[in-house]
Chain A
Amino acid sequence: MKDYAVLNINGEDHKFSLGERRGQVPYSETLVQTLRERMGFAGTELSCGEGFCGRCAVLADGKAIASCMTLTSECDGKKIVTIEGLQKKANGEPDPVVKAVLDYSRFQCQICIPGIIVAVKSIFNKNPNPTESEIKEGLSGNYCSLEKECGIGTQLVSHLAKHPALR
């Protein structure tokens, strides 16, 4: 049994002691718990708890994953980037994805935004020139409580497809 896990979170290595003693990270702890409660990265939201709403999305080695369905103890050696890491990269600047998403004017409750930013970054990590339908597919895991009133799957997609910061 591994008794530690080293996660690179937003550019910094963190070594977590794994186990059941006080102060250790239990094997059963989920990544969203670790990020929010231990690391204070509250930008990542905990919503459905089942992985389908997209609000807990973080990047793991460049790909969006549901942190509520990921065990921290299984992330040894992984590079985790949360919304905080995208808002302020190593050079102090926000990632262009952040500007592109925040430029969208129709967000209402805004709880989806961190997850959407992560998902968009994941899309562009895979393919720097995605088609509109690839963007749409890539955002299909980000749930809008207002039943798409904000146009998450439609106007946001075309907004992102055209946005200069993403070209």
Chain B
Amino acid sequence: MRDFQHYNAESFDEASERLKENEKSVAISGGTDLVNLLKEEILEEAPDNVINLKTIKGVDYIKAEKNCLKIGALAKLADISESQVILKKLPILSKAAGSVATPIIRNAATIGGNICQCTACEHYRFSHNNGGRKICYRKGGKECLALHEKNEFHHSVFGGMKIHNSPCTDNCPAGIDIPAYMERLRNDDLDGAAKIIMKKNPFASLTGRVCARFCQETCNRNNHDEPVAIRNVERYMGDYILENSEKYYRNPNKNSGKKVAIVGTGPAGLSAAYFLRKEGHNVAIYDRMGEAGGMLQYAIPAYRLPKNYVKNTVDALKNMGIEFVMNTEIGTDISPEKLEESFDKVFYDTGAWKKPVIGIDGEELTVFGLDFLMEVKNWMKGKLGQDVLVVGGGNVAMDVASTAKRLGAANVTLICVESEEEMPAGKNEIKRCREQEIEIINSYGVSKVIRDGDKIKGMELVKCLSVYDENNRYAPVYDLNEKEVIEGDSIFLAVGQSVDLSFLDEKYQLDLTPRGLVAIDEKTYMTSKKGVYAGGDMTSGPATVINAIVSGHGAADAINKDFGVEAHDECDVSEEPPFLKFDAVGITRKDAAELPLRLPNECSLDLEDYYTDLNWEQVKEETSRCYNCGCLAVNPSDISPVLVALDAIVKTTERDIKAVDFFTKTPMVDGVLNQGELVKEIEIPAWDNYKGSYDKLSLRDGKNFALVSVASAYKVEDGKIVDARIVLGGVAPVPYPLREVETFVKGKEINEAVAVQAGRLACENAVPLRENANKLQQITSAVKNSLLNAVQ
């Protein structure tokens, strides 16, 4: 193992301090877990320091007091299992301690170490010496390896547990808790799912159609087959939310007295408006165009985003009491200063609509791609040639090329500097263009327009050797000797968009970044002018709808904070369930639910490219493909279920923690203990008149982690159980108290039939994995026997 510095602590305080001083420190008690972790280099980071707790004197005691038992954290399991005191007062603990591993290990192992030990999962414990440790979900990686690999002995039959965000949530700019809403949908809880989405994204019907789907790129299913069709599910939910807009876009019916002006009805502005209006502020949102939506309305073609969804969204926001002031340009109709005077805060999101100049000969003959899309939106037919050239590799270029084809151009050719893999456009969008017989020429830039006076003849292309430099910056390198000429009679440039700030006169200027975007504080979205905020494309450059929504939300949060208003979650979701459950059969479905795509020859400008949406059955089937990524490893300790059953108190160097809070809220002890916090003592109340037992099923002697164990305490009177505590070990990520079984058996006469029924009840809502379904039968048996033994 890697070497380390070693300190013998003389007190818990000293040990805690040393652990806090350097975060790369670990404490060692018996060493029967830690030494192996170090030898096999299982953890990603080897510690710098090992702090020995065995040198702390007087903390290995076993004391019986009036109503409880107190055990020092360094008490050895051998002493606990042989203690006459414990045998008399709590034989269940003697039995549990005696069942751990082997007598040789028990001579060194401590109770404090036992309850803090790491899981026995073979993927977590994969030795670095065997070809590289596995960075599984529990260690901060993306996927729980047990789901598809070996999961026979040390894994849960009741679902996983969350340790950190799943990769889909992490990659979503809005951080939507996707697995959580998928689980709600599996339980037919559309309202719960809607609330989870609305927390971060109020426009799911729009993003459900046009989002770039960052979530699907990192879905763990990509390692196996097709990612979950998250966008298609979100689309269904977005439409549901709009259909019930009076519930999800509620007029707050309160007045905070604050007024906020928003300039720009693009997604950033609409998002800011929603999150501000929720708190009862008066919100007025301005736009120089006639209809609201920004790019959603004017740039994204109707065949990708039918405009009725935009209109319904805007209507829902209007019904919240948000005032829309259209056809009003700031700088022309109202000065920025006037806005600042009339409102408490101003948020700008005027977007990036300006044509950039790329500096080629004949550029004046080209058309800005965005202008084209806007003209199409306004139904201007006309100057479209037959051989259309489109320059650009992003989604706008795709939209331009596809729109030109739908308008009837005979040939449409797309030219971009990027290679196919580098193209920023979505893979599906590229595929769609090819299906419409649009030719894509990769790795060529344009050097000039070939003209005959004012008539376009074609373009001269120059080979692009590379697009990005070593620092991943845009720095195309051309081979000026390799040139090509391509014919065409119309040229559209869709190589980017610039931000137009000319509406702010010289007196009212905001600081800009070197790239010409409005500079804002990362956290507060405030510009260089106090009380003036900005977001969306004007601060980031052209980006996606979901990025804009996030920036609007962020600015609203900052404004709320400044107003001293606590943003409340109107859409409060009920408490999260403890285990992440998934559909054990559904996850084997390999194909994602796809929307039926319109045939290329039927594509038009104003019909959506999909024939229909998914129906509810299809949505539910797709949600059943979500793994609900969590850690499936079971808690390895035999003592933990006993302490939970007996309502023990774990006393640390900082506080007293109830056993159920210490053990069952999170699967790793790191999630409970602060850095440097150590377990000092365990206090167990007296359970006189209760019959307790710890029954353990394991595979072998020696390395005998429980496959299924039952920690139980029963109060029996006249052959009936009047009180029961039953906690299962080895079957879930944390000790699993069987509350329903406890209620079921109280007051009942226990016979074989009742005991079997209780055993079956224990297995309700189980989610067995591929290899461990036999645990269910073992649970039923173990619970049944535990009950029958109690009343004998």
Q: Which residues of A contact B (CB under 8 A)?
A: 1-2, 18, 20, 26-28, 30, 48-54, 57, 60, 63-66, 68-71, 73-74, 119, 122, 137-138, 140-143, 153
A27 touches B103 (CB 8 A): no
A70 touches B35 (CB 8 A): yes
Candidate in B1, B2, B7, B35 with the most chain A CB atoms within 10 angstroms? B35
* Chain B residues in 8 Å Cβ range of A63: 78, 107
B3 touches A70 (CB 8 A): no
Given A26-B3, A74-B28, output 10 extra A-B contacts at Cβ < 8 Å: A28-B3, A50-B36, A52-B102, A64-B107, A69-B105, A140-B103, A141-B701, A142-B102, A143-B701, A143-B702
**Given A1-B7, A70-B31, are A51 and B103 also a contact pair (CB < 8 Å)?**
no
* Chain A residues in 8 Å Cβ range of B3: 20, 26-28
**Measured between alpha carbons, how far is A51 from B105 in the docked complex, in Å?**
7
Q: Does B563 contact A (CB under 8 A)?
A: no
B293 to A: closest C-beta gap in Å? 63
Query: Chain B, interface size: which category?
Result: 20 to 34
**Measured between alpha carbons, how far is A138 from B3 in the docked complex, in Å?**
34
* Chain B residues in 8 Å Cβ range of A53: 702
Candidate in B32, B50, B52, B107 with the most chain A CB atoms within 10 angstroms? B107
B694 to A: closest C-beta gap in Å? 16
Listed from nearest, the 4 A-B pairs whose CB atoms lie closest are A141-B102, A27-B6, A52-B702, A141-B104
* Chain B residues in 8 Å Cβ range of A70: 31, 35, 108
10 sampled A-B residue pairs with Cβ under 8 A: A27-B5, A49-B39, A65-B104, A65-B108, A69-B35, A70-B31, A74-B31, A119-B103, A140-B102, A153-B701
B103 touches A66 (CB 8 A): no
Q: Does B703 contact A (CB under 8 A)?
A: yes
**Measured between alpha carbons, how far is A70 from B109 in the docked complex, in Å?**
11
B27 to A: closest C-beta gap in Å? 13
**Measured between alpha carbons, how far is A54 from B101 in the docked complex, in Å?**
11
**Measured between alpha carbons, how far is A153 from B105 in the docked complex, in Å?**
18
* Chain A residues in 8 Å Cβ range of B28: 71, 74
Partner of A51, one of B7, B32, B78: B32
* Chain B residues in 8 Å Cβ range of A51: 32, 35-36, 101-102, 104-105
Q: Does B95 contact A (CB under 8 A)?
A: no
* Chain B residues in 8 Å Cβ range of A2: 6, 8
* Chain B residues in 8 Å Cβ range of A68: 35
B701 to A: closest C-beta gap in Å? 5
**Measured between alpha carbons, how far is A49 from B35 in the docked complex, in Å?**
10
**Given A52-B102, A69-B36, A138-B103, are A74 and B54 also a contact pair (CB < 8 Å)?**
yes
B35 touches A71 (CB 8 A): yes
**Measured between alpha carbons, how far is A17 from B104 in the docked complex, in Å?**
28
Partner of B104, one of A20, A27, A64: A64
B11-44 contact mask (Cβ, 8 Å, vs A): 1 or 0: 0000000000000000010011001101100000
Partner of B6, one of A1, A48, A54, A122: A1
**Given A27-B3, A52-B105, are A140 and B701 also a contact pair (CB < 8 Å)?**
yes
B5 touches A1 (CB 8 A): yes
**Given A49-B39, A51-B36, A63-B78, are A141 and B108 also a contact pair (CB < 8 Å)?**
no
B104 touches A50 (CB 8 A): no
**Measured between alpha carbons, how far is A140 from B102 in the docked complex, in Å?**
6
* Chain A residues in 8 Å Cβ range of B107: 60, 63-65, 122
B567 to A: closest C-beta gap in Å? 51
For B78, the closest partner residue in chain A by CB is A63
For B7, the closest partner residue in chain A by CB is A1
**Measured between alpha carbons, how far is A119 from B104 in the docked complex, in Å?**
8
**Measured between alpha carbons, how far is A68 from B39 in the docked complex, in Å?**
10
B108 touches A69 (CB 8 A): yes
Q: Does B503 contact A (CB under 8 A)?
A: no
* Chain A residues in 8 Å Cβ range of B6: 1-2, 18, 27, 71, 73-74
A154 to B: closest C-beta gap in Å? 13
**Measured between alpha carbons, how far is A149 from B107 in the docked complex, in Å?**
27
A69 to B: closest C-beta gap in Å? 5
Q: Does B744 contact A (CB under 8 A)?
A: no
A46 to B: closest C-beta gap in Å? 11
* Chain B residues in 8 Å Cβ range of A20: 3
Q: Does B616 contact A (CB under 8 A)?
A: no
**Measured between alpha carbons, how far is A64 from B109 in the docked complex, in Å?**
12
B54 touches A52 (CB 8 A): no
**Measured between alpha carbons, how far is A138 from B82 in the docked complex, in Å?**
12
**Measured between alpha carbons, how far is A137 from B52 in the docked complex, in Å?**
30
B702 touches A141 (CB 8 A): yes
Q: Does B4 contact A (CB under 8 A)?
A: yes
B104 touches A54 (CB 8 A): yes
Candidate in A30, A64, A137 with the most chain B CB atoms within 10 angstroms? A64
**Given A27-B50, A28-B1, A28-B2, are A66 and B104 also a contact pair (CB < 8 Å)?**
yes
For A137, the closest partner residue in chain B by CB is B103
For A139, the closest partner residue in chain B by CB is B103
**Measured between alpha carbons, how far is A6 from B2 in the docked complex, in Å?**
23
A67 to B: closest C-beta gap in Å? 10
**Measured between alpha carbons, how far is A60 from B6 in the docked complex, in Å?**
21
A29 to B: closest C-beta gap in Å? 9
* Chain B residues in 8 Å Cβ range of A153: 701
**Measured between alpha carbons, how far is A69 from B31 in the docked complex, in Å?**
6
A52 touches B103 (CB 8 A): no
**Measured between alpha carbons, how far is A65 from B105 in the docked complex, in Å?**
6
Partner of B31, one of A27, A48, A64, A71: A71
**Measured between alpha carbons, how far is A2 from B551 in the docked complex, in Å?**
55
B745 to A: closest C-beta gap in Å? 32
* Chain B residues in 8 Å Cβ range of A71: 6, 28, 31, 35
A157 to B: closest C-beta gap in Å? 13
**Given A27-B4, A141-B101, are A69 and B54 also a contact pair (CB < 8 Å)?**
no
For B701, the closest partner residue in chain A by CB is A140
B8 touches A57 (CB 8 A): no
**Measured between alpha carbons, how far is A53 from B36 in the docked complex, in Å?**
14
* Chain A residues in 8 Å Cβ range of B38: 28
**Measured between alpha carbons, how far is A142 from B35 in the docked complex, in Å?**
20
B703 touches A50 (CB 8 A): yes
For B81, the closest partner residue in chain A by CB is A137
**Measured between alpha carbons, how far is A140 from B698 in the docked complex, in Å?**
14
B513-534 contact mask (Cβ, 8 Å, vs A): 1 or 0: 0000000000000000000000
For A20, the closest partner residue in chain B by CB is B3
* Chain A residues in 8 Å Cβ range of B36: 49-51, 69
**Measured between alpha carbons, how far is A143 from B6 in the docked complex, in Å?**
32
**Measured between alpha carbons, how far is A30 from B36 in the docked complex, in Å?**
11
B703-724 contact mask (Cβ, 8 Å, vs A): 1 or 0: 1000000000000000000000
